[in-house]
Structure 1
Amino acid sequence: MFEPGHMQLRALPGLDQQAVEINLRYEVRHDAEKGTYVHFSMDGTIDGNAFKEEFDMPKDQAFNFASDATRIAQKHGLHPRFGPIVRIHKEYDAMFEDIRAKLGTHPGDPVDLDKMVP
């Protein structure tokens, strides 16, 4: 489920699926030193194990949020075979567009590829 600033991810255990309930919240922040960035907070449970973690992404890298969120979820128990944490493209696209609007960015804006994490 997506609403601006928040995506809730749920999966019930079953065939090839883990029990997952994760809230991914985000907001744009401005800092004199960091510049404009997106602050993310994740909390929830994976197979009944609770976790909470926060991370920041610079403006030009914030669109790679699904990769960082997946890495964090895997650190807390999400099995890699289940793929990316955000599987429903409609919700991912909505979150991507919301972040873009909040940052005031446009297709073709420069990205510092040297800072991207594989």
Structure 2
Amino acid sequence: MFEPGHLHLHALPGLDQQALDINLYYEIRHDAEKGAYVHFTMDGSIDGNAFREEFDMPKDQAFNFASDATRIAQKHGLHPRFGPIVRIHKEYDAMFEDIRVKLGTHPGDPVDLDKVLHGGE
């Protein structure tokens, strides 16, 4: 379920999924050196194992949030065969659009693809 600033992911175990109860919170922050960025807090459980992790994404990489969230979920027990953590396209689109609007970005804004491909290094 999506609401601005928060995506709740819940799934019961079955043939094509694991037991998930994950909250992904986000907010726009500003830093004098980094400029605008998105701060994420991800917490919940995968197959009953609790976790909590926070991460930041620069403005020009924030669109890639689902990839980072999936990587974190896999680190905490999500099996890669189940695919991306944000499976419902409607929820992904709503979160993407909310982040885009809050950051004031527009289609066609420049993106440093080297940073995206190498994890912001």
Fold match (TM-score > 0.5): yes
CA deviations on 1:30-62 (whole Å, 9 max, x unpaired) are 001211100000000000000000000000000
Aligned residue for 1:48? Answer: 48
CA RMSD of aligned residues (A): 0.8
Q: How does 1:1-118 map to 2 (within 5 A)?
A: 1-117=1-117
- Provide the C-alpha distance between the structure 2 equivalents of 1:2 and 1:39, rounded to a whole number of angstroms: 17
Deviation, structure 1 residue 16: 2.5
Q: Secondary structure of the residue that 2:77 maps to in structure 1?
A: coil
SS for the counterpart of 1:63 is helix
What amino acid is aligned across from residue 66 of structure 2 in structure 1? A
Gapped runs of 5+ residues in structure 1?
Answer: none
Q: Following TM superposition, where does structure 1 have runs of at least 4 consecutive aligned residues deviating by more than 3 angstroms?
A: none
User: Post-superposition shift, 1:78?
Assistant: 0.2
Q: Deviations over 1:72-109 (max 9, x none)?
A: 00000000000000000000000000000000000000
Question: Structure 1-normalised TM-score?
Answer: 0.98
Letter of the 1:68 counterpart? D
TM-fit CA distance, 1:114: 1.3
User: How many residues matched?
Assistant: 118
Q: Which runs of 5+ in 2 are unaligned?
A: none
After TM superposition, give the deviation of residue 117 of structure 1 in Å: 3.2
